[in-house]
Every structure is written in structure tokens, then in C-alpha cells.
Amino acid sequence: MDPSGLNPDKEQVKPLSKVKAGQTARVVRIEAGASANARLASMGLVPRTQVSMISNGHPGPMVVSVKGAKMMLGRGMAHKIMVCAASPQ
Amino acid sequence: MDHTVRIKKRITVAVAGNPNSGKSTIFNMLTGAHQHVGNYPGVTVEKKEGFCRWEDTEIRLIDLPGTYSLTAYSVEELIARNFIIEEHPDLVVNVIDASNIERNLYLTTQLIEMEVPLILVFNMSDIARQRGLVFDIDRLSELLESPIVQTVGTKGQGRDVLLQAIVETARRGRSSRVHRVRYGHEIEAELEGIESILKAEEPVLVDHYTSRWLAVKLLENDKAITSLVRSDHVRRIVVAAIARLRTLFAEEPEMIFAERRYGFISGACQEAIRNTVELRHDLSDTVDRVLTHRYLGLPIFLLFMYIVFFLTFKIGAYPMRWLEMLFGRLGTTVAALWPAGADSLPRSLLVDGIIGGVGGVIVFLPNILLLFLAIAVLEDTGYMARAAFVMDRIMHRIGLHGKSFIPMLIGFGCSVPAIMGTRILENRPNRITTILVIPLMSCGARLTIYALLIPAFFPPAWRGPMLWLMYIIGIVLGVICAKVLRMTLLKGETSHFVMELPPYRMPTFKAVSIHMWHRGWMYLRKAGTVILGISIVLWFAMNFPRVAAEDLQGMDNDHAAQVRLERSLMGRIGRAMAPAVRPLGFDWKVGTALIGAMAAKEVFVAQLGIIYAVGEADDHPESLRERLQQAYTPLQGFCIMLFCLISAPCIATVAMTRQETGRWRWALFQWTALTAMAYVITLIVYNIGALLLH
Ligand SMILES: Nc1nc2c(ncn2[C@@H]2O[C@H](COP(=O)(O)OP(=O)(O)OP(=O)(O)O)[C@@H](O)[C@H]2O)c(=O)[nH]1
Ligand SMILES: [Mg+2]
């Protein structure tokens, strides 16, 4: 069964840190541990949310836009956010 | 009770909401206060109280730090959460950034669940309008079960409507809610079960917090709330329910709660908010691509810093010179009240002690104003958070993250608020490390020392780079020290790094000038109280005990003044400590001034002013700067600045470190370690410099 309601087999799931600047992705699941998960959720990052990458500066942090607000994310954190290509619904 | 008689009431109203939504702006609008406002998350880090009146009601407002949810991750969020949950305000004013409503409403859904009387303030409605958002306020108000007031905090729009709503809603008191946020029937069934057991077994808690909110928090596995539950039965049931939900959804229940809340919010927004403008490509995204660029970001930041400090210095030099002339003339005018050549103690106290000491500090007011102007612009445009981003890569390598750089930047103004500002850091080892290195960021008081010494020892073309160098040395040392601390005393995980980037905003003239004048006034007040007091004490220490007249016979005026100074209390202290500071290239005069600088760094400037005025006869026309130039080499000048930069944080900083770390141990450690480091580094630089220059 697919817990997140998305089908990870059909679409390629990858960490958010791999998304290129200018691209939009969709969160599949977040694996950052209970406390960080809740923290991200309170800032708008929950499964099924669209995330667009504003700038992704290897190897440093990145700027993403979530629900109309910009956030910076450490690379370590972004590794733990699994996304797939955003499909228009 | 007679309802025709108007009873005077007092209500307590908490101003809560997401960081950077404009809570302090609304608080200021209502109370007329001047709480610090700035365009980055985490400006307010403690609760502030203010009062205002509407009709027959006296309203006590509490401005809270921002928080994204009622679960706290850092000290300042804990303050907000505890106030809302534990202190039961009569009403919560939830300030919402109307241009960014979905994320902001997440906290709102939790407040609704708590059943506190609630008003939603849709602030920043000017920006929402610009973005083409049209709200069906009646419908939203129905869905969110709370009155909604639209405001533009910066322009004072919506003040009266809000006050009216506060008084009316508070009068109605706590009311039970429909709870439109539903979590799906599996979760609702569990909630119902837990609620009924809670009502039976924890009546006190239920009375305090309401059963639904408690049940939600328990299922969300909230540590603080779970620890309040005494009944083992309840605990067991909650654990079992969480396990059931976890298997059912293959996810932690708290994530399901979060998703369902956002689901409700996005439904409400779709129903009641229309977007009339097609979102075009955002200019600010383009700006962000440049300012946060992986190669360009850091050079741009360093360039900005250079420009800021250079201008602070360059533009500040003109009014500074006028003030110096003014105080110089004041000195001669006052001195002329006494007959020429007379050796008068009151005259020396006034001219050398007070005008020389306090005046010597006040002349740097223009630099201070410019510095805080620059900091206010940095805070209000939104660049502050970008600087944190740019520094993240470096900070990461030393085991901190970019967020720590925000308090460090505040430290360029003053270490005291900077140390308090570390409350935004979630992780304690991170936070303590940041607190310990903050004094290495050259504060406004140290700027006065640089502004005095740099022009005395360096040619005009060198002055800008020299000043910049002092700041950079501070940052680099801070980085190194942080690294060492993280490897030794303060090991531990680097916490995760997430931070909101505020939108770019044009700083308003009003906001920036209020901030600037506020800091300028603080500087003047300090000069007129602390510095004045210390200057008088220093003057006495430099004039007493007096030397008998016969001992001075046959000496010219200058020589006599010199001997008198050397035999004074200060002279004796100075000579006792001279061997300790001589290896650094300092004479006893600088040595004693360093003692004074422990109270406040500006005292260093005041004390040099006094000591060079007392130590010479009154007929010298030179400025302090010219006297310093004659007395020391540029290398010595540089070493003095270096020592002042690194050594002994001032008393106020020590006290703040003690308060924020909770331990004297850390404050003493900070003080001793920095002073020792200053000694060693200055020793090395002076001796190598002396070798090279010979
Ligand atoms: N355009 C516009 N800007 C506003 C409005 N209200 C506040 N601001 C700006 O928004 C920024 C944040 O304001 P603050 O009052 O400091 O926000 P806060 O919620 O107290 O922030 P924290 O204390 O960090 O949680 C400042 O730059 C304000 O000038 C508004 O109605 N319209
Ligand atoms: Mg505030």
C-alpha cells in the first residue's frame, strides 16, 4: 500500500537537495525524525505540498518556496525530504 | 448587578502569531510603544507588556515572540507558548500575514482548538491587496470561528476596529467551538475515546485546557502535555491509540494531524479567497538568486559590509570634527572663567575630567547614529536573513549554522541584545557557543575606539580598509573560537537548519529613524550617566593624592603636571601594572585605560581624553588625536585596537551572558578566555610587527 497517497513506483522519488533551481517538486515523505518533522510541518512542509527551488547552491544551503513563503533549508535537512516531480492536479 | 453602571474592566490580551507577521507593529500601533520591529523572524525574543484603553476597558497587551505552532523548539518560542497555554490571557490576538495566509493559519487552527477567545488580525493587507488577494471575510470568519479584522500595522490602519473587536470579544469570554478542523473518522474516534476518559480521570486538566485540545496534543505525542497527565490509565490508552494510528496510516500520527490541518486550511482558502492577479515571475526570486548565489553571495556580503563601515566612518568624520571643535571651544570658554595660569582643581575637573571625558565620548555620536542607521536598514530590508544564508556554509563547517549569524550581526551594534537574540537558536550547545563568541563582533562602543585611533595613526587611504580589517579580524576569530569550542567544551549535534526568508521590503524612513534615534539617545544617556560618573571618579584618581608644591619647584608646567599624574592613585596603579602591559607595546596610560574599559568600552576613549588633559599643562592647543600621534607608533595604535577588540567584554555583556546561559561559570569563562586570548594575540602581533618594522 502506498501510505502517502502517491505512487512512488511510477514517479521517481529523490531527495529535495537534488532538485535544480527553477524546478518544482512535490513532497512525498519527510524522514527527519519526529521533532524536525513537526517543525517542518509547522512551517508548511508536509507531504503532498508543492515546493519550488529558488536557488540550490552546492554544497551549501538552499532557498525553497513553500505555500507562498520562502525558506532556507540546510543541505542535511534537504537530504531527508523526499520529493517527486510535481504533477499538475 | 446594575447594568446601567459602567464597570471599569481590565483584560489581558496576548498578541501571538508567526514570526515576522507584524505582531510588534500591531502592539506598537495599539499601545503607542516603540518596541523593536524588524524584517526577519525572531526580532522579539521576550514578552513585552503595554497598556491601552478603549471605552471602559483597560487593556493589558503582551507582545509575544513569534511561533509557528504551539510546540516550542527554542527558548523564545517556549515563552510564547507558555504564555498562551499557561497564563490564560482573556483574549488572544492572532496576527496573521495576510499575504501568506495558508502557513499562518496553521497556528490559528491550534488556537481555535484551545477554545481561547480569539481575534484574527489580517495584517499586511496592503501587500495582500497588491498581490491581488480578495478575502471573503464573512465566510472566513465563519470557517475559522473568530472575528477577523484587517489591518495595515505600519500605517495604523484598522486600529479602532481592532480595539472595538478586542473589547467585545473579551466580553463574550470563552465559548465552545464547532471544531471544523476534522481529522477523519479514525482519528476522531480515538479523540472521542480519549476525551471521555480525560473528562473522567483528569477533570482539573480538562477544566484548564479543554478536552479536545488535550486529546489532540496527547495523540500528537506532545512531551510537555503528556508529562502533565497523572493517570496511568489515560497514558496507556493514549499509547495504544497512537500505535493503532501508526499502523493504520504507516506514518506518525502528528504528521497526519498536520496534513489534515493544512487540508482544512487550503479548503477554506479556496472557498473564501480569490486571486485576481496572475502570479508573475517574482522579482525578489531573481534578486535572491544573485544575493544567495553560491559564489557571489559571500563577496557581495563582504562588499556591503565594507561600504557600510566605510560610510559610517567617512560621513561620520565631518560631524565628528564639528563636535570636537564644539567641545574644544566649550573647554576653552569654561577654562577662561578662571584667571590664566591659576592652578584650579574645579577648573580641571570641569575641563579635563567632564568635558574631556564625556565630551570625548559624545563626539562619536554621529558614527554611532550612522552605524545603527545601517543596522536598521539591514534589518528592515530583509537582507539580514540572506546574510545568514550566505554564511551558512562557513558556519556549518564550524558546527553552527547560518541562523547563528543573525545575533552576530546584531552584535555589530551591541553585544547585549545580540546575546539575547541567540534565543532563536534551537540547540543549547549551538546557542552557548554563539553567546561566547558574540563579544568578538566589534560593537558600537568599539567603533568609538577605532574612530579615535585610526585617523590618528593611518593615512586617509588606509582608514577604510583598516576599519574593515578590525571587523573582519573579529569575525575570523569568532569563527575559529566557535570551531574550537564545538570540538572541545561544546560538542554535540548540529541541529537542523530551517529558517524563513522574509520578503524584501523598502525600509520606511519613520521606522529607520526611530530606531536610529532610539539608539543614539541610549548612547547619549550612557554618556551622561555611566560615563560621566566614571569620568569623575577617574579624574579624582588622577589628581589625588596631591603632590606637595615644594616637590614641584623648579619644574615647568608640563613637567609638573606629568609628575603630579605619575604620583596620583591612577599613576601608581598604572606603574604597578606597567610591566604586564609593556610586552604588548602599551605604556601605563593605555594600561589604566584598559581597566576603565572593562566597565564600558567607551570609557577607554574617555579615560585617554582625561589622562592626556591632566598630564599636561592647560596651554596646549593640540587635540587628543594629535597627542596620541606623538605618543605612540601606528603599530602600537593597531595593537591597542586589537586588544580592545578581543579583550574583556563589558560588564553589561558579562551580566547578559550570565542571564542567558544561566550560569556564572560561562560568563567568567568568556571573560577570562577572551582576555587571555587578547593578551597572547596582541603580544605576538606587537613583537612580530616590531621585528618587521625595524
Ligand atoms: N507593508 C507592511 N509591512 C508591515 C505591516 N506590518 C508590519 N510590517 C513590517 O513587517 C516586518 C515585521 O514586523 P514586526 O512587527 O517586527 O513582526 P513581528 O511579528 O513582531 O516579528 P517577530 O518579533 O520577529 O516575531 C517589519 O519590517 C514591519 O515594518 C503592514 O501592515 N504592511
Ligand atoms: Mg516582534
CATH of the domain at B126: 3.40.50.300
Kindly state whether residues B486 and B546 are assigned to the same domain. no
The structural domains of chain A, with segments of one domain joined by +, span: 8-85
Predicted pLDDT at B502: 93
- In the reported structure, the alpha carbon of residue B40 is separated from the centroid of ligand 2 by a whole-number distance in angstroms of 9
Q: What is the mean pLDDT of residues B368-392?
A: 91
**B39 neighbors B505 (Cβ within 8 angstroms):** yes
Chain A residues lying within 8 Å of B385, measured CB to CB = 72
Distance from C-alpha of B570 to C-alpha of B547, rounded to nearest angstrom: 13
The better pLDDT of the pair A61, B623 is held by A61
Predicted pLDDT at A1: 43
Residue B46 has pLDDT above 50, yes or no: yes
Q: Is residue B282 part of a domain?
A: no
Kindly state whether residues B379 and B485 are assigned to the same domain. yes
Helix (H) or strand (E) holding B466, with range, is: helix B460-487
Kindly state whether residues B65 and B158 are assigned to the same domain. yes
Predicted pLDDT at B115: 87
Q: What is the mean pLDDT of residues B167-191?
A: 87
Chain B contact for A10 (CB, 8 A cutoff): no
- Rounded (10°) CA dihedral B369, B370, B373, B379: -120
Interval B242-295: pLDDT, tens: 999 999 998 888 889 999 999 999 999 999 998 877 666 678 888 888 888 888
Residue closest to B353 by CA, chosen among B87, B575, B574, B540: B540
Kindly state whether residues B375 and B487 are assigned to the same domain. yes
Q: Select from B172, B206, B237 the last residue of a domain.
A: B172
Q: Which atom of ligand 1 is nearest to the CA of B123?
A: 31
C-alpha cell of B426?
Answer: 534551537
Residue B693 has pLDDT above 50, yes or no: yes
Q: Is the Cβ atom of B20 under 6 angstroms away from ligand 1?
A: yes
Q: How many residues does chain A have?
A: 89
Cβ atoms within 10 Å, residue B277 = 11
Q: Do A39 and B68 touch (CB under 8 A)?
A: yes
CA atoms lying within 13 Å on the CB side of residue B247: 5
Q: Which atom of ligand 1 is nearest to the CA of B511?
A: 29
Distance from C-alpha of B16 to C-alpha of B93, rounded to nearest angstrom: 6
Residues 6+ apart with CB under 8 A from B326: none
Kindly state whether residues B13 and B35 are assigned to the same domain. yes
Interval B563-605: pLDDT, tens: 888 888 988 998 898 899 999 999 988 998 898 888 889 899 9
Q: Is the Cβ atom of B123 under 6 angstroms away from ligand 1?
A: yes
Q: Which atom of ligand 1 is nearest to the CA of B95?
A: 19
Q: Is the Cβ atom of B153 under 6 angstroms away from ligand 1?
A: yes
Kindly state whether residues B602 and B571 are assigned to the same domain. yes
Ligand 1, pocket-test mutation among B25, B124, B155, B514, most atoms within 8 A of CB = B25
Give burial (CB, 10 Å; 0-12/13-18/19+) of B629: middle
**For an interface test with B, which of A70, A81, A89 has the most B Cβ atoms less than 10 Å from its Cβ?**
A70
Q: Is the Cβ atom of B44 under 6 angstroms away from ligand 1?
A: yes
Q: Of the ligands numbered here, which is closest to the C-alpha atom of B38?
A: 1
**For an interface test with A, which of B287, B496, B500 has the most A Cβ atoms less than 10 Å from its Cβ?**
B496
Q: Is the Cβ atom of B19 under 6 angstroms away from ligand 1?
A: yes
Could you tell me the pLDDT band of residue B362, with boundaries at 50, 70 and 90? very high
R_g over Cα of chain B: 30
Predicted pLDDT at B3: 47
Kindly state whether residues B270 and B345 are assigned to the same domain. no
- Min Cα distance A89 → chain B (Å) is 14
Residue B1 has pLDDT above 60, yes or no: no
Q: What is the mean pLDDT of residues B19-33?
A: 95
Q: Is residue B3 part of a domain?
A: no
**B336 neighbors B618 (Cβ within 8 angstroms):** no
- Min Cα distance A52 → chain B (Å) is 11
Query: DSSP 3-state assignment of B617?
Result: coil
Query: Which DSSP string corresponds to B506-538?
Result: PPPHHHHHHHHHHHHHHHHHHIIIIIHHHHHHH
In chain B, how many domains are there?
A: 4
- In the reported structure, the alpha carbon of residue B62 is separated from the centroid of ligand 1 by a whole-number distance in angstroms of 16
- In the reported structure, the alpha carbon of residue B95 is separated from the centroid of ligand 1 by a whole-number distance in angstroms of 10
Interval B483-530: pLDDT, tens: 999 998 888 776 678 899 999 999 988 889 988 999 899 999 999 998
Cross-strand partners of A73:
A62, B498
The order of strands in the sheet holding A14-15 is A14-15, A81-85, A24-30, A50-56, A62-66, A69-73, B498-501
For residue B352, the 8-state DSSP code is I
A 11-30: CB under 8 A from B: 21, 29-30
Kindly state whether residues B483 and B627 are assigned to the same domain. no
Q: Which atom of ligand 1 is nearest to the CA of B27?
A: 15
Chain B contact for A82 (CB, 8 A cutoff): no
Residue with the smallest CA separation from ligand 1 atom 9 is B22
Q: Is residue B292 part of a domain?
A: no
Q: What is the mean pLDDT of residues B136-155?
A: 94
Kindly state whether residues B72 and B14 are assigned to the same domain. yes
Interval B530-554: pLDDT, tens: 889 998 998 888 888 877 777 777 7
- Closest Cβ opposite residue A3 in set B249, B389, B503: B249
Q: Do B385 and A72 touch (CB under 8 A)?
A: yes
Chain B residues lying within 8 Å of A66, measured CB to CB = 103
C-alpha cell of B541?
Answer: 584618581
Residue B216 has pLDDT above 80, yes or no: yes
Q: What is the mean pLDDT of residues A14-28?
A: 92
Predicted pLDDT at B471: 92
Q: What is the ipTM of this complex?
A: 0.89
The CATH class of A8-85 is mainly beta
Q: Do B402 and A70 touch (CB under 8 A)?
A: no
Query: DSSP 3-state assignment of B155?
Result: helix
For residue B619, the 8-state DSSP code is T
- Min Cα distance B56 → chain A (Å) is 38
- In the reported structure, the alpha carbon of residue B33 is separated from the centroid of ligand 1 by a whole-number distance in angstroms of 14
Residue with the smallest CA separation from ligand 1 atom 30 is B124
**B171 neighbors B90 (Cβ within 8 angstroms):** no
- Closest Cβ opposite residue A39 in set B103, B392, B498: B498
Q: Is residue B178 part of a domain?
A: no
Mean residue pLDDT of chain A comes to 83
Kindly state whether residues B340 and B475 are assigned to the same domain. yes
Buried b (16+ CB within 10 A) or exposed e, B54-65: beebebbbbbbb
C-alpha cell of B500?
Answer: 524563513
**B20 neighbors B40 (Cβ within 8 angstroms):** yes
Residue closest to B376 by CA, chosen among B509, B283, B503: B509
Q: Select from B129, B146, B172 the last residue of a domain.
A: B172
CA atoms lying within 13 Å on the CB side of residue B490: 23
Residue with the smallest CA separation from ligand 1 atom 11 is B39
Q: Do A30 and B255 touch (CB under 8 A)?
A: yes
Predicted pLDDT at B5: 44
Distance from C-alpha of B146 to C-alpha of B160, rounded to nearest angstrom: 18
**B77 neighbors B65 (Cβ within 8 angstroms):** yes
Ligand 1, pocket-test mutation among B20, B99, B152, most atoms within 8 A of CB = B20
Could you tell me the pLDDT band of residue B166, with boundaries at 50, 70 and 90? very high
Q: Is the Cβ atom of B421 under 6 angstroms away from ligand 1?
A: no
Q: Do B496 and A32 touch (CB under 8 A)?
A: yes
Q: What is the mean pLDDT of residues A60-71?
A: 89
Kindly state whether residues B329 and B407 are assigned to the same domain. yes
Q: Is residue B506 part of a domain?
A: no
Interval B58-74: pLDDT, tens: 999 999 999 999 888 88
Percentage above 70 pLDDT, chain B: 97
Q: Select from B527, B553, B588 the last residue of a domain.
A: B527
Residue B260's closest chain A neighbor by CA? A46
Residue closest to B534 by CA, chosen among B595, B617, B473, B452: B595
Q: Do B258 and A69 touch (CB under 8 A)?
A: no
Residue B351 has pLDDT above 90, yes or no: no
Query: Which DSSP string corresponds to A3-67?
Result: TTSS-TTTS--EEGGGPPTT-EEEEEEE-S-HHHHHHHHHTT--TT-EEEEEEE-TTS-EEEEET
Predicted pLDDT at B25: 95
Q: Is residue B400 part of a domain?
A: yes
Give burial (CB, 10 Å; 0-12/13-18/19+) of B5: exposed
> Residue B623: which domain range?
533-693
Mean residue pLDDT of chain B comes to 89
Kindly state whether residues B663 and B604 are assigned to the same domain. yes
Predicted pLDDT at B620: 62
